[in-house]
Chains A and B, each alone.
Chain A
Amino acid sequence: MKKYISKYIFLYLLLSAFFVGNAIAQKTQIPLRFDKYYTYGEVVEAVKALNLAYPDLTKAVVVGKSEENREIWALEINNPKTGKAEEKPGVYVDANIHGNEIQAGEVALYFADYLLKNYGKLKDVTDVVDRNAYYIIPVVNVDGRYHFMTDGNSMNSNRSLRISRDDDKDGLFDEDMYDDLNGDGNITQMRKKVEGGNYRLDAEDQRIMVRIKDGEKGNYVLLGQEGIDNDNDGKINEDTEGFVDPNRNWGSNWQPNYVQRGAGDFPFSAVGLKSIADYIGKHENIIIIYAFHNNGGMYLRGPSTKEGEPLNAADIAVYDVLGKNAEKIVPGYRYLVSWKDLYATYGDFTDFTYDAFGAYGFVGELFQRETETYTKEAKKEQGEESGFGRGENYPRERELLDFNDHLAHGSLFADWKPFKHPVYGDIEIGGWVKYSSRMPHTFMLPDLVHRNASAVIYAASQTPDVSMEIFKTEKIGNNLNRIYVRLRNSRAISSMTAQAAKEKLYPQDMLKLKGAKVVAGGKLINQYTAEIQFKEYKPEVQFLTVPGYSTVEYAFIVEGKGTIEISYESRKAKDVKQQMKL
């Protein structure tokens, strides 16, 4: 009887779990949509829905929790029929580490969605799914994404983690945030009509503020971003959220806050980031990392600091293959070196994963505002940027507003409207809204997510694939054989970063011979003269790396008869082995 009841309860639980699951699946459509931005809650639901829709290929995992106790979710993709995840090269993708860099999360979601929905349909996708294991964290800064969408923000605010800091050194923490005075969900600009001000309105478009030249008369001033002096210290918005920058808090070349703004108190003082570091550390097979940010249209590789130079040439070669390819997959994007071409940052994420875990890493800076056009010419000059509010490029600003009017139908710019400010009196509030400037209008989102996801798919197709060939055996004595083994990596990415080998992060790949006594063995220099660079001790285990598009050859002198086994074991690449009879 008791047994019967427990069985019944079990069935009930199973069913209810099924129905709950279905309810979620119904709420979140699979395949996912990319004509909108998902809220944090919807991202979590999307991860769960993908897992539910593809239970054989995926796992949904909670990696850790944020400062405000939100869950950080990962979707893992692996086809168990082609092997365990940890045996395959790992591809890690994360996004939205900066709270305001929303569309990055969509790229990660799209990447997962695209792999899964095309598995078994498109050969290339099927291949990369079968050959690799994927670890995808669509939103790293979960608090940031939540607050960006929920609270009043500008396109630049809410970048940091929810770790309060005393930015203005007055003994109080985060006490003077921005204030969404007009309650429209955006932090825009404040302007005030003042005779003798240093701005005037553009004659053609009064939304544009024109900085006056010497001798001109102005009648407006800009008062900065929407806000009041919350702590009554005479300054407005001087101690906003954080500031701990989640991409300055990692444990490689970390420097304190007075050297690197946003560093946090110590490496991994951010608990969410620490959980991610632990998660990546547990998945030792990860060989390539993509971290998506916005904006500017760049694929950045490390090092992020000058101290990280010089990078090993072999590693640069791998980066070049992937980076130059990304430039073509995403037109206009540039493949650059972080510290040199952009600026130096300490405690950077991809530097950390390269230095500590031996994974190649790219930062994808999504979106170029140049693509917001309203012009007959198909192609615009590169590098032309809006200087709204501070720049001088008024024709371009007019064009951006035209884009807003005719393509975004007014959704990117909040028109100036009067407001009674407690300190400034009669002012106007208006300007570019938070979903503008750094991320595309959703009509452009499908193109952005597809192209950038394709850059990662290309990288996934280039993870190391090492095959073994016993290409020659020679009898050199009564009971002695010389065996020649070739390892070939048919892809661009090396089986181990040169940096990891140089810094001795972990043991190199191993070529082992078992089943007979190995008298001598080593790297083959010349097979015709049998010149071998012998390893004096323990010749049955050879340590090596198989670089991209390369072969390495080894030879063993073996004593005895019977079956031997030669195995190649690698932390990142898939292991292979062969048996042969002597």
Chain B
Amino acid sequence: MKHFLKRIVFLILAFVLFSNGATAQKYRTPKEANQSLDAIAQANSTKVKVHKLAQTAGGNQINIYEFGTEIRSEQKNKPAIFVMANPEGNLPLATEAALFLADELLKSDHLERFTYYLVPVLNADALNHYSENPLWETLRNAKPYNDDMDDVVDEDGPDDLNKDGFISQMRVLDPLGIWIPEEADARFLRKANAAKGEKGMYKLYTEGLDNDGDGIYNEDPIGGVNSGINFPHLFKPNHNASGAWPGSETEVYALMRFVYAHPEIAATFTFGSTDFCLQAPEAGRKGSADLNNIRIPRRFADMFGADPAVTYSMEQVMEMAKPMVPEGVELTPALVAGFLGLGAAVNPLDEDLQFYNELNKQYKDFLKAKNFETERLSPEKSKDGSFELWSYYHIGVPTFSFNFFTLPKAKKEKAESESSLSIEQLEKMSSDDFVALGEEKIASFLKENNAPERFSAKRIIEMLKGGQFTTAQMAATLKQIPKSKKEGELDEKTKAFIAYNDLTLNGTGFVSWTAFEHPTLGKVEIGGEKDYITTTPSYEDGQKLIAAQLPWLFQMVEKLPQLSILKTEIETVSDDVYRLNVWIQNQNYLPFPTAMGSRNGQPAPAVLLLDGKDVAFLDGKARTPIAKVDGLKSVKLSFLLQAKKGTELVLKLESKFAGSDQAKISLSK
């Protein structure tokens, strides 16, 4: 009877949720996202498990949803994919993508081979703002924080003065103002350039009052920490709401604990503001280690024959290290820096960039084949302390991310003098083809893309011809350079916004400037871009964007390292003495592990176990760790064994995140 009741309750619940799902064509709140996934877990109790992770400062429950066939076992044999959706809580679309993925996983046969850990949103407190009135975007969770270090906390946030449901901006005519209207579109403001004789007109504020009467507006809003950047890599305390220390937020701390407790995690995917599928994690950061003034730590001083009190240059240290480096190992500054503990890696390692660049290309082709519009504003660069950077640099697994939506670039009218070549096109060209365009065309292309003067067309041509520079490198460099704009022209972002707002949204993305009598500022105008407009398309468009891009994840997963025993070989060396050769292959594209994983030593090694009755190991061990097998490559292991002829040998290849294999072999020729 009780059972029956339970069932009824469940059915009702399922119906309510289902009907909600069917009618509610809107972005889900953190609570609704959990409810949807909880319902999925309940309906698929053999395949989905809920790990209750933590509660945020704002009381939101953060869960990890495990999808797979090993949910009941502690020991995991299948590689796992960790999906972190919406780490900063500012992208409702990213959370929807997690829900989309959940459905796809249950429909496909993926769970036969992989486990998925799904976080629908990390900074749930921030995501709640999307469904609140007034609409106001913040990256902070609900932890109180005293921004202005006065005697009250969270006392001066924005206010919806005109009661239109949006926090927008206020502009005020003020002799101290630094802003003036854009010539091309007076709705938008830009900074006056005094050097050109321009005088500022407006002061610009977020819509609100000076609630605490300290002369500053909206300087201490509700909330404190962006949990999406509360991770340890390149963490800076209390910087852009990063938190007091890495993992200061309970949800982040619990998540780190979870990830380290699951060595089967083979890769992570973030649905957020970066897109490592489109563009490799950026390089070019200055490292914290000063490689010109190196102190040899006391513990290594003897070994190096160095004085710990003296500073050395990297060249000097390399010279000292030379006699210690085994043959076949290349002595590099990175090797020395890592060994001496001089500092953390802050740029993606070259070997990893190779696979990133190749997969970026493949992804663009994948999108092109679907006629997916790729001319859009670039996704953001990864932030210090972000989940993605932590995953790549600390966990040491292949780390990818999707950013499902940025504004389409405004279609540009072509001027006659322009080279009609885009950076995207350049990327695909060979050096020869590019050089063939001729110096004049190349010069105008460089100018359009704001290349510095030392990159003259002549010099570029020489470098490309000489092979010191490739078109791909050149494209990557040009992408880093801020685009120039002509006098009076709007910047790329504003142009894209105008096109999107005026054409796609029929103007609903912008609050027209309207006069308002402000209690302390006097006559002001309230207006400007609405929050979330540039990151959050309509629900329907969002679903289409996800459907077009997300499936790439399934193709990437197939490229994760997969180890197997390729071949075994027995040679008889003497009576009852055999040489056994074993080739272990990584049959997939991605390396085992990444170069960064090799550097940080975090990914668990694979192990080859040999077992046979009365086998003595003359050379080699019964247990052999395997630290590295590059993508589509093999390593050879060799053993000298003493055993009776005909002895059965069992070979077991075990790895935490790259599969396992077994072979049997008989010791006889």
Contacts and interface: CB of A to CB of B under 8 A. Distances in A.
B601 interface: yes
Interface stretch (B44-52, B117-125, B241-249, B272-280): B241-249
A536 B215 contact: yes
Interface stretch (B143-151, B164-172, B464-472): B143-151
A265 B599 contact: no
Given A169-B625, A356-B237, A266 B232 contact: yes
A54 to B, nearest CB: 35
A171 interface: yes
A507 B149 contact: yes
B621 interface: yes
Interface residues of A, number: 45
Given A343-B298, A344-B297, A254 B344 contact: no
A343 B623 contact: no
Interface stretch (A57-65, A130-138, A256-264, A328-336): A256-264
Q: Which of A266, A274, A306 has the most CB of B within 10 A?
A: A266
A508 interface: yes
Given A169-B605, A266-B394, A503-B237, A232 B627 contact: no
B256 A166 contact: no
Contact of B248 (A251, A269, A344): A251
Interface residues of B, number: 48
Contacts of A268: 247, 253
Interface stretch (A9-17, A197-205, A209-217, A537-545): A537-545
B149 A543 contact: yes
B238 A261 contact: no
Interface string B224-262: 000000001001011000001111100001001100100
Contacts of A274: 253
Contacts of A504: 149, 238
Contacts of A505: 238
A507 B151 contact: yes
Interface in A498-553: 503-508, 510, 512, 536-538, 541, 543
Contacts of B605: 169-171
B623 A233 contact: yes
Nearest to B214: A537
Given A169-B601, A171-B607, A352 B246 contact: no
Contacts of A265: 256, 260
Nearest to A277: B245
A523 to B, nearest CB: 17
Nearest to B256: A266
Contacts of A255: 343-344
A137 B273 CA distance: 44
A87 interface: no
B600 A258 contact: yes
Contacts of A259: 338, 341-344
A307 interface: yes
Interface in B108-154: 146, 149-151
A355 B239 CA distance: 13
Interface string A449-471: 00000000000000000000000
A267 interface: yes
A343 B151 contact: no
Nearest to B146: A507
Contacts of A307: 288
B213 interface: yes
Interface string A22-49: 0000000000000000000000000000
B146 to A, nearest CB: 6
A252 interface: yes
B150 A356 contact: no
A269 B246 CA distance: 11
A280 B550 CA distance: 45
What is the predominant secondary structure among interface residues of chain A facing chain B? Answer: loop
Contact of A266 (B151, B244, B247, B622): B247
B299 interface: yes
A538 B215 CA distance: 9
Contacts of A261: 341
A184 to B, nearest CB: 29
Contacts of A343: 297-299, 308
Interface string A476-515: 0000000000000000000000000001111110101000
A402 to B, nearest CB: 28
A234 interface: yes
Contacts of B257: 266, 269
A505 B344 CA distance: 26
Contacts of B344: 255-256, 258-259
Given A258-B599, A259-B341, A261-B341, A510 B151 contact: yes
A306 B256 CA distance: 27
Contact of B607 (A170, A251, A503): A170
Nearest to B299: A343
B604 interface: yes
Nearest to B239: A503
Interface in A215-245: 231-234
Contacts of A543: 149-150
Contacts of A251: 244-248
A170 B212 CA distance: 60
Name, among B151, B215, B341, B599, the residue most crowded by chain A CB atoms within 10 Å (CB to CB). Answer: B341
Nearest to A172: B623
Interface string A143-179: 0000000000000000000000010011100000000
Contacts of A171: 604-607, 625, 654
A265 B601 CA distance: 11
A255 B346 CA distance: 12
A277 B2 CA distance: 47
Nearest to A352: B245
B247 A257 contact: no
A267 B623 contact: no
B245 A256 contact: no
A512 B253 CA distance: 39
Contacts of B338: 258-259
Contacts of B212: 538
A258 B299 contact: no
A64 to B, nearest CB: 14
A171 B625 CA distance: 7
A401 B247 CA distance: 49
Nearest to B340: A259
A503 B364 CA distance: 44
A342 B213 CA distance: 50
A389 B260 CA distance: 40
Contacts of A266: 232, 246-247, 256-257, 260, 394
Contacts of A258: 338, 341, 344, 599-601
Given A254-B232, A266-B256, A503-B237, A537 B245 contact: no
Given A171-B625, A356-B244, A506 B232 contact: no
Contacts of B244: 251, 356
Contacts of A541: 150-151
Interface in A267-316: 267-269, 274, 306-307
A356 B232 contact: no
Contacts of A169: 601, 605, 625, 627
B214 A254 contact: no
Nearest to A340: B295
B621 A234 contact: yes
A508 B148 CA distance: 11
- Across the A-B interface, give the 5 residue pairs with the lowest CB-CB distance, nearest first: A251-B245, A537-B215, A170-B625, A258-B600, A265-B260
22 contacts: A169-B627, A170-B605, A170-B623, A171-B606, A251-B244, A251-B245, A251-B246, A251-B248, A252-B237, A256-B394, A258-B341, A258-B600, A266-B232, A266-B246, A268-B253, A306-B290, A356-B237, A356-B245, A503-B237, A505-B238, A507-B151, A510-B151
Given A170-B625, A259-B344, 19 more contacts: A169-B605, A169-B625, A171-B625, A171-B654, A233-B621, A251-B245, A251-B248, A254-B235, A254-B245, A265-B260, A266-B256, A266-B260, A266-B394, A356-B245, A507-B150, A537-B213, A538-B212, A538-B214, A541-B151
